[in-house]
Structure 1
Amino acid sequence: MSARRTELLEFAVLGLLHESPMHGYELRKRLNAALGAFRALSYGTLYPCLRALLEKGWITEATGPDAPGTGTAGSKRARIVYELTAEGKERFQELAKAAGPTAWEDDTFDVRFAFFARTEAEVRLRILEGRRSRLEERLANIRATAAKSRERLDAYTAELQRHGLDSTEREVRWLTELISAERNLPQRGASAGTTTTGTPPDTPQE
C-alpha cells in the first residue's frame, strides 16, 4: 500500500473511531459500505493499520462483550474493541485540516467528504472548490477529445464518452450547490466537531 493510501486509511479509521469505539469487523464493514475507496479492503490491510495506530498511541484496544465464536457450537471469543485516544483525536484533526491537491483527487475526495461534519468550514470550502476546479479541467479535456475524435469513434465508445461527460457535469453542478450552501452558512467560529454543517444538497445520482 502506498504512503498516500496508508495515510488515507489512517484518517478514515481515526474518523470512524471518533464517532464511537468499534471492533475490527465493524470497522471493516463501515469502511467497505460507506467509503468507496475501501470497498475491497481486507483484514490483511486493516489489521496492520490498526497495529500501527496502536504503536503510535493514537488508539487503544480493550476486550469488549463476548461475540459468538466460529468454533464449536455455543463457544464464544472475546471481541477486541478499538477506541480513539486524546492523541488520536489530535492526529485526526491535523489530517482533517489538510486541504492540498490530494484532498480532491478521485480516490480521496469521497473519504474526506464523509468526515466534513468534523472538518472546519474554511477547509471544507477549499476542498470543494479544489474538486470542482479539477473536474472542470477534466470536462474541458473530455470535450476537446470528443471534438477531435467524434467521427472516428464507434457508437459504443461514443456513448461511453457521453456518459463520462454527463457524470462529470452532474458532479460539477452538485459541487457548485454545495459551495453555495457553504458560503451561505452562518459564520460562527467554526471548529471541527462543532461546525454548523447545514443540510447539503442531494448527492448526484448516476
Structure 2
Amino acid sequence: MSQSINDFVLTDKQLMEFVKVELDFIKNYCADCKPTAFPPILKVLDSRQKLHLISLDVDENFHRSTKRRQVLEEAGTKFYKKYGKNTFPAIVMLSSEAWLKAFNANNMPDNIRQPSDYPDAVEVVVVQAITFANTSILESDCPPRASMGTLKIEARNPYLKLSEMSEPNLYKAGPETTDLLDRFFIGWFQEDVRTKN
C-alpha cells in the first residue's frame, strides 16, 4: 500500500504535544544522567507512525557549525535511501543546544550578528519540529507548520541544569524560521527526484 504525506493527519495540538514530550524527556535525561552538554538529536515520525532516532555525524559544537545544513540534508537523503518514497517523514524534530538573543521589535539593529556574539545572549536547548501533514482529513495541501520550545541552560557545572523557558508554540514554517529542518526535506525530495530520473 502506497502512503504519502496526504494520508497523514496531524493537528496543531498534536504537533505541539510532540515537542512538549521531547522537552520533558530532555529535562528528565539531564536530571538523571547529569551530562555537561546536550548532543543534537534528530527524530523522525514517519507516515506509518514509526519513530526513528537518526544518528548525526557531528561534534559538540553542532550549533556553531557551518556544516549543520549539509548534515541535515544528508540525513534526509539517507532516510529516503533506507525507507523509500512510501515512508514519508511526517514530523522531523531536532533538539540541540543553541544561543538565543531577543530583540525589541521597535528597536531592531540594522546589522544582526550571530546570537552568541551578544553578551546578553542566553544558552538554551531548543526543540523544533516541522510537518507538511494536513490538520484534518478534509484538508489538502496544508502549508508547512512548525513548533518550538526552549529550555534555558542555567548551569553546566557540575552538570547541565535546565529550566523551562518557553512552552511549545505554533508558527508557519519557512526559510526564515525552519531553514535547518527544511534541509532534511530538501535531501529527501532531491533523492526522490534522483530515483525517478
What is the TM-score normalised by the length of structure 2? 0.24
* Higher CA-based Rg: 1
Q: Tell me which protein shows more strand as a share of its residues.
A: 2
| Highest RCO, 1 vs 2 (Cα 8 Å, sep ≥ 6) | 2
What is the TM-score normalised by the length of structure 1? 0.23
Q: Tell me which protein shows more helix as a share of its residues.
A: 1
